[in-house]
Structure 1
Amino acid sequence: MNKHFILFTVLSLLAQTGYCSDMWTIYHQDDYVAMACKAALEGNAAWCAGTVKGYKCACKNQAELGSWMNCIYQETFENNVGVENRVIGLCASSNKTYTNDDLRQIYQNATNYMVDVSKDDTFNKTQPISYPITDSKKVHKTYLGYYHGYYNRWGNISTSHWLGIASLSMWGALVVISGALHWLGVLVPSLKKKLTGPLFNGYRKNISLAPTFKKHHINPVQSLFAAGYIPTRFESIAIAIHFLYSILACAIIGYNYYHGDKVFKTRMAGVARYYGDRSIIVSVYQVPLVFLFAGRNNFMQWITGWSYSRFVTFHKWLSRMLVLEILIHSLAFTAQSVAIGKLQSRLHEDFYRYGIVATICSCLAMVLAMYTIRRYAYECFLVVHIILIAMFTWTAYLHALDQEYQKYFWACIAIWCFDTVVRMARIVYCGLIRKARATFLVEENTIKLTIPVPSYVKTYPGAHCFIYFLTPSTFWQSHPFTVVKSITDEGHIHMYCKVKEGITKALLKKFQASEGSSVDVKVLVEGVYGSQSPYHHYDKAVLIAGGNGISGPFSHALKLATTDVKTETKLYWQVREYSVLNWFGEELMQLKNTKVQPIIYVSNPSSSLSEVHNGSLSSSGEHSDSSSGHEGKEEYAGGEKTKESLVNKFDFIEFHSGRMNVSEVVAQEIQESVGSVAFGACAHPDMTDEVRVAVKNNLNGSNKRVDYFEEMESW
């Protein structure tokens, strides 16, 4: 899929949000004067029979129009061109055309017949009159009530839009700045190496590389009070700024109530309406951003170089704040409905009921997306989340229809549809239904998928695909796995899936019911996603893996080994037993006689050959089928002899017994490097967090450029 096409398309979708921001009427001083004078006069006198709405009577009845201009001139100054132009515009909407001279002539004529109704005891303001009236004290007081009422109401609407635009602009600025820095590093890598020293290292140590708290980031916390992934400190700062801004925008900035307000006659009615308008207008600018951040085909990934997991983090936290703003809107309008005595009548109106449903859907979507539910009941979460978000979008659209805010939700729908279409295109690109071979690796509690893909599908280090397992209960789910190009099977890719809950556990049960060592399963492959970390720009690359997290680091190491670059490369791998050489031996053999130094730490080095082999490693170091497995057993049968033979076969690998001390490894590699160093990690979440913290802690002690790339994503 062409990245430039995706960029152009999504920018077009976002432009719709910008178009929506131009859909509200911005009122100025002249508007408030014109509207307030007209409302004040009609609040104290009548020129047309029946209930007067709009400007038809005021513009066509010469007596009222003369009174209107008299009020305007007395409250401002005579021949006020600005307000005259507003009256001309208002009358044009009622199909009545005037010029400035026309209005002045009507006013001059009206002054000959003006009546001060405050001095007429027989005057009844409900009975239509045929003469102009002058600006009595009562009219002036009413004018002030309407003027401040309109100013507060419509001024709040405009302020809300500008605050919403500013919120969107802040995220846009962050993306642009991050994108500029990212592409500067890509296009001018030598410049990045020079950005060292106390200032740059201090920023990276305390902000860009640091976890929010002591250690946790990839490894989720699970406590009595909270559970889930903790953002990095950079992410937390961005989220905190947005949160503080939302509090200021929705609850503090720009509110004022005028005692004597004629638009909202009680303080509760006015203030509740102001809070209700402000919170929802600010939020509608954020809704398209929430949808965009959740998409897999988010063009901002290409601009910024940020991982998908970072955008999902922003999506989750912006969504939570969005729900709070929706709640403020709902509670405020409930209070306002009570204050003006319209709660019962509004409950029977469609727009109000749609708003209630939208609020409930958004709250349920937030609550049911909590980490515990996602982890232990992901399938239920996914179905319910999609349904709730679809219902929220639909009902919020209908709720906003009469207020002309529906266009913001069209932007959301467009983004969602675009992402879905591109995802379907990626599935077609990868060949639609694929017959995958699944092999269970007992020692690692891992399922190895071998999937045929069309020859034009190109993989690269750091790439991942989403897999749909085509079973009746899981066909609608997709799970991300790192891709490794097969060494022995041309046109195939490998993926290693840790057995957990859900689909992997269902596959394990299928293995247990089967007599063979592998089973076939039909899948859809959606890809290829992800970006390649630029290890080739550094003097040294240190790739750290754990267990079945070897896929990504190995791909990077192999790329560096087969590319004409001078990068010194080390591949560290923490495993439990030597048995990993059964299922990854053929890949490791590709590193023999290359500049890559593989280093394996075996935490359980006492494992014997029979434990190690499991009948799948042949003498050539390649995976064989079940029939040839027995030959391999005969060749390597016997305790220590097995281990010796194995170590001799992989003599290019440096083996260590015990667990890797991540902090020592990182410090040593930085100290021994002659230049810039890049670390990459994909391991158990706790180990991955250790690498991040170790790199951060060793920045101050080095004048070399040291970077960290997280090859593991969680959300």
Structure 2
Amino acid sequence: MMDFQRRRLALAMESTPTLLRRATDAAASATSTVSAAEETIAPYDHGLNGVAQTNNMIFKQGLWWMLGAFGFVILLVRIYQVMWSHIRHVSAMSIEGERQTYWKYAQAHWMPSFKTDVWYAPLWGKRHNREIRLSSAMNMGTLPSRLHFGQLALYGISNIVYMCYVDWSNSNKYSLCAEIRGRSGTLAAVNMIPLFLFAGRNNPLISWLKISFDTYNLFHRWLGRLAIIEIFVHFLAWSIVQMAATGWSGLVDRVFHDPFIASGTAGSWAMFVILILSLSPIRHAFYETFLTTHIILAFIVLVGALIHCLTPTEIATGLPQQTWFMAMFAIWMFDRTARMVRLTYCNWSSRGFTEAIVEAMPGECSRVTMHLPRHVDIKAGTHAYIRFAGIKPWENHPFSIAWVDHHSEELPVDEKELMIMKKNTTTSVSFVIGAQSGFTRDLYNMANNSPSRAIRTRAALEGPYGGHHGLDSYGHAVLVAGATGITHQLSYLRPLIEGFNDGSIATRRVTLIWIVRDYEALEWIRPWMDEVLRMPNRKKILTIKLFITRPKNSKEIVSASSTVQMFPGRPNIPLLIRKEVHAQMGAMAVTVCGPGALADDVRSGVRQVQEEGTVVDFFEESFTW
């Protein structure tokens, strides 16, 4: 018995190393297998392998539904506003201003606080359109409003959440990179559709939703930044797997010789250059160069992305995003075609082409009158893009339309004859353009250097655009202008006075507040203002308050009458608005066009008077860039 136990113990001792070696070998083999699995590159270096396409399409729908929800809510609000304005217009246009009490006060008790805290609220404080200046020649642009910031934040956070919703527990980093590559590329393509749509002047959403191009431009800039970040992640995720599969030499070879990768790389680098050039200090310092370069680079991005989606060698039918980029190309072509149609229609007829008279005005301004060879209907509060044959004809810039005249040799007898006569009518459109730098400075210098300080040149007008804010339903209108911003406000005066005389509008009181540096600025608009002051019943409806911030002579500051008043120095804008509210007739509209600091003061003043409980609506005309 003892001998058996000794032999069994000896056998166990001899077999233990063998078992240990077997166990160690098995563990090593398992570890090797796991390691090999973690480092597997193929098939994640090509095609849609590893791309979570189902989730990509779900997140695509999520972003588009969010944009659609934004648009739908705004559309409902606009429909309500249009209907309410129409009802107010029809019911108040035959009532004296003092009796428009029903429309003077807000019908919903929560509306004034909503306007104060959300609708008209800046992000914080009162700064919104006042530029954040870094130096006298450089600034960082403007801040979004509280409402716009909320929309941008919600959309941006959605992008981040969708971007991060990947399988981080995946032990194969190359598979993880493939999933990130597919997600980032899909999100970038999704964002590029509204990016191109919002960049167009003929974006149909502008008129449908009555949102200014300036607001769409804000969203365009932030969508572009989102798309560029996602494109960079897309390129980086592909590069990691490609480097592991073929090394640096293989990556470079594909970048330069594979149409699929080369087109994507070209588009990615074009977007990166756009990002650098669009940084606010650079964009503002070299805006005209930036604009031209931006259009060229955007076209490269569009073509590169389209080729990238059509030419993957591993997928015979191309990437699923190809139809999206075809839609972008259609959007781009629609905007360009619409612009060409507008240019052709406004500036050419059997009578010839548009000519412009450019006059150099005091205060380094140009007064431009464009004689169009046909009748063009132009509403108050609109703007147009103009260009001149002798001054960088490839450039065009937006300016508010100050005055419109229609010229005909015959007077119409009835509406039918009026329609016929429009074919034989021409239109004159006038602007006041301050000489800043680049295009506007060249325009002023060309006129100023002429012996008569005026030139006649071939020109072209593209427009009109804007004009979404009608004032006819308001019993009281306050128009605030700074410097050349008078052009926007001046365009309302004649229609409002004519409507008052015809009894076709609800407006009973109009106050024009104009802030200028010196008295010479009156020359900019003298011929049009003289016509306004001669209109019948002008004194019954219009009061003009002119503030000269730097008068050269105190004798210049002379009020012509109680309805045309002049004051030295800068006005207290909130106090002026409060005084208007105390004399308010019906619903009130306050509009502003001028420097960002002035616009912010007016916005602040309107927010302050909401506590009165009266209807005071705010409209801002701006061209931020």
TM-score tier (shorter): 0.7 to 0.9
Give the AA of the match of 2:112.
N
The structure-2 alpha-carbon separation of the partners of 1:577 and 1:379, relative to structure 1 and needing over 3 Å to count, comes to: closer
The structure-2 alpha-carbon separation of the partners of 1:541 and 1:222, relative to structure 1 and needing over 3 Å to count, comes to: same
Give the AA of the match of 2:335.
D
Instruction: Work out which of the residue numbers 430, 442, 457 in structure 1 matches 2:362.
Output: 442
Are 1:412 and 2:324 an aligned pair? no
Q: Which residue of 2 aligns with 1:573?
A: 514
The answer to which of 169-178 and 558-567 deviates more is 558-567
Identity %: 24
Give me the whole-angstrom Cα distance separating, in 1, the residues matched to 2:248 and 2:569.
Answer: 70
Deviation at 1:203, TM superposition (A): 2.5
Give the AA of the match of 2:446.
K
Give me the whole-angstrom Cα distance separating, in 1, the residues matched to 2:354 and 2:615.
Answer: 44
Are 1:478 and 2:396 an aligned pair? yes
The structure-2 alpha-carbon separation of the partners of 1:503 and 1:257, relative to structure 1 and needing over 3 Å to count, comes to: same
Give me the whole-angstrom Cα distance separating, in 2, the residues matched to 1:709 and 1:586.
Answer: 27
Contact 1:461 1:532 in 2 (8 A): no
Are 1:690 and 2:601 an aligned pair? yes
Q: CA RMSD in A?
A: 3.0
Corresponding residue SS for 1:456: coil
Q: Specify every segment of 5 or more residues in structure 1 that has no aligned partner in the other structure, as ranges.
A: 1-137, 260-266, 609-638
TM, length-normalised to structure 1: 0.69
Are 1:362 and 2:292 an aligned pair? no
Q: Which residue of 2 aligns with 1:227?
A: 140
Give me the whole-angstrom Cα distance separating, in 1, the residues matched to 2:166 and 2:468.
Answer: 47
Question: In the comparison of the two structures, how many residue pairs are matched?
Answer: 527
1:166-219 Cα shifts (integer Å, max 9, x gaps): 112211111111011112111222789675555322322222211222233222
Give the AA of the match of 1:380.
T
Contact 1:374 1:381 in 2 (8 A): yes
Q: Which residue of 1 aligns with 2:74?
A: 178
The structure-2 alpha-carbon separation of the partners of 1:499 and 1:423, relative to structure 1 and needing over 3 Å to count, comes to: same
Corresponding residue SS for 2:354: strand
Give me the whole-angstrom Cα distance separating, in 2, the residues matched to 1:345 and 1:606.
Answer: 71
Give me the whole-angstrom Cα distance separating, in 2, the residues matched to 1:578 and 1:223.
Answer: 31
Give the AA of the match of 1:219.
R
Q: Which residue of 2 aligns with 1:246?
A: 159
Deviation at 1:346, TM superposition (A): 4.4
Q: Which residue of 2 aligns with 1:275?
A: 180
Are 1:378 and 2:287 an aligned pair? yes
Deviation at 1:607, TM superposition (A): 4.2
1:295-342 Cα shifts (integer Å, max 9, x gaps): 000011112111110001000100011000001111111112234456
Q: Which residue of 1 aligns with 2:479?
A: 543
Give me the whole-angstrom Cα distance separating, in 2, the residues matched to 1:155 and 1:277.
Answer: 5
Q: Which residue of 2 aligns with 1:108?
A: none
Contact 1:571 1:596 in 2 (8 A): no
Q: Which residue of 2 aligns with 1:600?
A: 545
Q: 1:658-677 maps to which residues of 2 (within 5 A)?
A: 658-677=569-588
Q: 1:135-284 maps to which residues of 2 (within 5 A)?
A: 156-189=52-85, 199-223=110-134, 227-250=140-163, 252-259=164-171, 267-284=172-189
Contact 1:487 1:587 in 2 (8 A): no
Corresponding residue SS for 1:537: coil
1:334-391 Cα shifts (integer Å, max 9, x gaps): 1122344566434323122222221111010121122333323222112211121111
Q: Which residue of 2 aligns with 1:586?
A: 527
The structure-2 alpha-carbon separation of the partners of 1:353 and 1:581, relative to structure 1 and needing over 3 Å to count, comes to: closer
Give me the whole-angstrom Cα distance separating, in 2, the residues matched to 1:226 and 1:607.
Answer: 30
The answer to which of 347-356 and 175-184 deviates more is 347-356
1:14-34 Cα shifts (integer Å, max 9, x gaps): xxxxxxxxxxxxxxxxxxxxx
Give me the whole-angstrom Cα distance separating, in 2, the residues matched to 1:681 and 1:274.
Answer: 50
1:21-69 Cα shifts (integer Å, max 9, x gaps): xxxxxxxxxxxxxxxxxxxxxxxxxxxxxxxxxxxxxxxxxxxxxxxxx
Contact 2:544 2:563 in 1 (8 A): no
Give me the whole-angstrom Cα distance separating, in 2, the residues matched to 1:282 and 1:566.
Answer: 49
Give the AA of the match of 1:300.
L
Q: Which residue of 2 aligns with 1:517?
A: 453
The answer to which of 277-286 and 287-296 deviates more is 277-286
The structure-2 alpha-carbon separation of the partners of 1:464 and 1:338, relative to structure 1 and needing over 3 Å to count, comes to: same
Give the AA of the match of 2:617.
D
Give the AA of the match of 2:333.
C
The structure-2 alpha-carbon separation of the partners of 1:369 and 1:580, relative to structure 1 and needing over 3 Å to count, comes to: same
1:441-491 Cα shifts (integer Å, max 9, x gaps): 113x211101101342011111111001223x6111110011133469773
Contact 1:535 1:541 in 2 (8 A): yes
Give me the whole-angstrom Cα distance separating, in 2, the residues matched to 1:489 and 1:587.
Answer: 16
Give me the whole-angstrom Cα distance separating, in 1, the residues matched to 2:550 and 2:154.
Answer: 50
- Pair member with larger Rg: 1
The structure-2 alpha-carbon separation of the partners of 1:320 and 1:330, relative to structure 1 and needing over 3 Å to count, comes to: same
Instruction: Work out which of the residue numbers 331, 343, 354 in structure 1 matches 2:236.
Output: 331
Q: Which residue of 1 aligns with 2:435?
A: 499
Give the AA of the match of 1:166.
G
TM, length-normalised to structure 2: 0.78
Q: Specify every segment of 5 or more residues in structure 2 that has no aligned partner in the other structure, as ranges.
A: 1-32, 89-102, 313-317, 409-426
